[in-house]
């Protein structure tokens, strides 16, 4: 069943976004000065972007009828998540919808197993991995990948849900049985001793023009991104290598829009972890921290318009995510206090507060990383009502 919430149902939508979470919400914000009209397909009326968008259809991303109704009249359809099943993407294409990124690119973004295979074929550094389909594979997997090893759901994981570190043959067998019984397709990969996690964004137009953002460090705690730090504390040589990896993947995946590449630094070398073919948490810093935000850039790229400059606006930019605190308090209550801290840019996503849920972020631009990080963490602590893990070096 499709319900329209549109205040102007007859007006043509220029761009459709499947999904109405915080990425769609921040894309809407970027669309305003460009005079663009956006239509959203939201699962629920209280999704973060559905709360503020004038043109919202309610429907599930795996409902072909909802998708087709939604896409009718959109010049371009793009995505705020990876949840549209391939047959639905094909149905949209068959109906003449312009998907950006394309169905083939979305398939790659949805499948960690395909990503590992394609990146390895491109000669890019990936952790040694194996697709796990039978229990009889397990002994061989421990032999070739060692222990502990990492099990990953090939599809549907996010924020560390869908990643399990498993130690020893017995635990591996038990986990494998439990996960495959619930229908999860698994890959196993070598556990990497990670020194830092890094990310880089690149935007690409249909004709191949690209714009690369600077490399950032992402601080992850239990699989969830907590902080994003610009510049990444690595050598110019590694930063250049990361840029080359991003260009290679952008070209090979034929992405249109923003591509985020997540990387590990291990043993002084880069390893590709995974990609997202949409604006990404590691790029929220670009709203205040770069000449063109990732959200505006995504819109420019999918409309095949000239890409904007990606230079940083300050020597240091730090974003700290606001996660729901243990008591589930609403960050809104602490907003005046957080805004009282100089230089803090607060973004709240309008989501209901739940422990551990990403509710917003704070960005601070400054002359040095330490200063930016301290101030952003202070504000995020006030807003989430809980300490941010880790310490800033003194
Ligand atoms: P998600 O799609 O849920 O973000 P990721 O593949 O990015 O999943 O994994 C989440 C986190 O788990 C990573 O940020 C990293 O900290 C850790 N991780 C993932 N793969 C490995 C690995 N092979 N070795 C060690 N840690 C890993």
Output the CA 6–ligand 1 centroid distance in Å. Answer: 39
Tokens of 349: 């996503």
For ligand 1, what atom is nearest to the CA of residue 273?
6
State pTM to two decimals.
0.95
Ligand 1 atom 2 nearest Cα: 158
pLDDT at 7: 46
Q: Are 70 and 6 in contact (CB under 8 A)?
A: no
Q: What percent of the chain has pLDDT over 70?
A: 96
Output the CA 111–ligand 1 centroid distance in Å. Answer: 14
Q: 157-175 pLDDT, tens per residue?
A: 888 889 999 999 999 999 9
Residue among 160, 167, 227, 270 whose CB has most ligand 1 atoms within 8 A, to mutate? 160
Least confident of 2-11, 143-152, 260-269, 313-322: 2-11
- Ligand 1 contacts (CB < 6 A) are 127, 150, 152, 157-163, 189, 191-192, 194, 197, 220, 223, 262, 273-274
Ligand 1 atom 17 nearest Cα: 223
pLDDT at 118: 98
Ligand 1 atom 5 nearest Cα: 160
Tokens of 36: 């663009």
Ligand 1 atom 14 nearest Cα: 223
Q: Are 299 and 36 in contact (CB under 8 A)?
A: yes
Output the CA 197–ligand 1 centroid distance in Å. Answer: 9
pLDDT at 2: 47
Q: What percent of the chain has pLDDT over 90?
A: 88
Output the CA 186–ligand 1 centroid distance in Å. Answer: 14
pLDDT at 24: 98
- Report d(CA 366, CA 103) in Å as an integer: 40
Output the CA 105–ligand 1 centroid distance in Å. Answer: 21
Residue among 221, 223, 271 whose CB has most ligand 1 atoms within 8 A, to mutate? 223
For ligand 1, what atom is nearest to the CA of residue 189?
23
Ligand 1 atom 15 nearest Cα: 223
Output the CA 191–ligand 1 centroid distance in Å. Answer: 9
Tokens of 119: 């990146």
For ligand 1, what atom is nearest to the CA of residue 194?
25
For ligand 1, what atom is nearest to the CA of residue 158?
3
Long-range contacts of 144-149 (CB under 8 A, 24+ apart): 145/188, 145/189, 145/190, 145/191, 146/190, 146/191, 147/172, 147/191, 148/191, 149/188, 149/189, 149/190, 149/191
Q: Report in angstroms the alpha-carbon separations of 360 from 23, 213, 384.
A: 11, 22, 9
Q: 8-54 pLDDT, tens per residue?
A: 545 545 899 999 999 999 999 999 999 999 999 999 999 999 999 99
Output the CA 391–ligand 1 centroid distance in Å. Answer: 21
Output the CA 163–ligand 1 centroid distance in Å. Answer: 6
Q: 217-255 pLDDT, tens per residue?
A: 999 999 999 999 999 999 999 999 999 999 999 999 999
Mean pLDDT computed over every residue of the chain: 94
Least confident of 16-25, 56-65, 76-85, 136-145: 136-145
The answer, yes or no, to whether residue 354 has pLDDT greater than 70, is yes
Output the CA 223–ligand 1 centroid distance in Å. Answer: 6
Helix (H, G, I), strand (E, B) or coil at 49: coil
Nearest CA to 55 among 43, 67, 37?
37
Output the CA 265–ligand 1 centroid distance in Å. Answer: 12
- Beta-bridge mates of residue 163: 152
The band of 1, judged by pLDDT with boundaries at 50, 70 and 90, is very low
pLDDT at 393: 66
Per-position DSSP letters for 283-302, written without gaps between them:
GTTHHHHBSS-HHHHHHHHH
pLDDT at 10: 53
The answer, yes or no, to whether residue 382 has pLDDT greater than 50, is yes
Tokens of 184: 């999860």
The answer, yes or no, to whether residue 3 has pLDDT greater than 70, is no
- Report d(CA 145, CA 33) in Å as an integer: 51
Our CA dihedral for 183, 188, 191, 194, rounded to 10 degrees, sits at: -70
pLDDT at 319: 98
Which residue reads 């919202």 in tokens?
56
pLDDT at 390: 86
Q: 76-132 pLDDT, tens per residue?
A: 999 999 999 999 999 999 999 999 999 999 999 999 999 999 999 999 999 999 999
pLDDT at 328: 74
pLDDT at 13: 55
DSSP H or E run through 342 = none
Strand spans (E) along the chain: 3-4, 15-18, 38-42, 56-58, 76-79, 129-132, 149-153, 163-166, 186-190, 196-204, 210-212, 216-221, 224-230, 257-266, 269-276, 316-323, 345-348, 358-366
Report the half-sphere exposure of 181 (CA within 13 A, side-chain side).
6
Q: State the CB neighbour count (10 A cutoff) for residue 380.
A: 28
């Amino acid at each position: 069943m499709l319900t329209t919430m549109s205040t102007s149902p007859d007006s043509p939508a220029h761009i459709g976004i499947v999904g109405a979470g915080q990425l769609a919400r921040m894309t809407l914000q970027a669309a305003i000065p460009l005079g663009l009209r956006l239509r959203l397909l939201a699962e629920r009326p209280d999704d973060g972007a559905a709360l503020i968008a004038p043109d919202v259809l309610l429907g599930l991303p795996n409902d072909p009828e909802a998708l087709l109704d939604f896409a009718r009249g959109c010049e371009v359809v793009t995505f705020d998540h990876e949840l549209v099943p391939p047959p639905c993407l094909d149905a949209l294409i068959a109906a003449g919808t312009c998907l950006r990124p394309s169905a083939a690119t979305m398939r790659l973004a949805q499948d960690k197993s395909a990503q590992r295979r394609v990146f390895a074929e491109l000669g890019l550094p990936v952790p040694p991995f194996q697709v796990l389909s039978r229990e009889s594979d397990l002994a061989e997997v421990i032999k070739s990948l060692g222990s502990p090893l990492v099990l990953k759901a090939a599809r549907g994981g996010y924020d560390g849900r869908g990643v399990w570190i498993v130690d020893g043959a017995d635990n591996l067998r038990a986990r494998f049985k439990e996960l495959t019984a619930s229908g999860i397709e698994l890959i196993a990969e070598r556990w990497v001793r990670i020194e830092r996690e890094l990310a880089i964004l690149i935007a690409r137009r249909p004709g191949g023009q690209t714009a690369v953002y600077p490399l950032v460090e992402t601080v992850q705690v239990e699989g969830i991104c907590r902080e994003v730090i610009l510049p990444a504390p690595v050598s110019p040589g590694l930063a250049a290598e990361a840029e080359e990896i991003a260009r290679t993947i952008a070209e090979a995946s034929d992405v249109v829009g923003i591509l985020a590449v997540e990387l590990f630094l291990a043993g002084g070398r880069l390893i590709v972890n995974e990609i997202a073919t949409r604006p990404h948490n590691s790029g929220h810093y670009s709203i205040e921290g770069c000449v063109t935000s990732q959200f505006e850039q995504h819109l420019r790229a999918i409309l095949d318009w000239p890409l904007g400059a990606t230079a940083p606006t300050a020597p240091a930019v730090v974003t700290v995510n606001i996660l729901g605190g243990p008591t589930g308090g609403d960050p809104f209550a602490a907003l005046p206090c957080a805004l009282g801290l100089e230089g803090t840019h607060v973004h709240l996503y309008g989501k209901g507060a739940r422990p551990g849920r990403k509710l917003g972020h704070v960005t601070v631009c400054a002359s040095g990383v330490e200063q930016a990080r301290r101030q952003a963490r202070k504000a995020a602590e006030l807003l989430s009502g809980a300490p941010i893990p880790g310490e800033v070096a003194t």
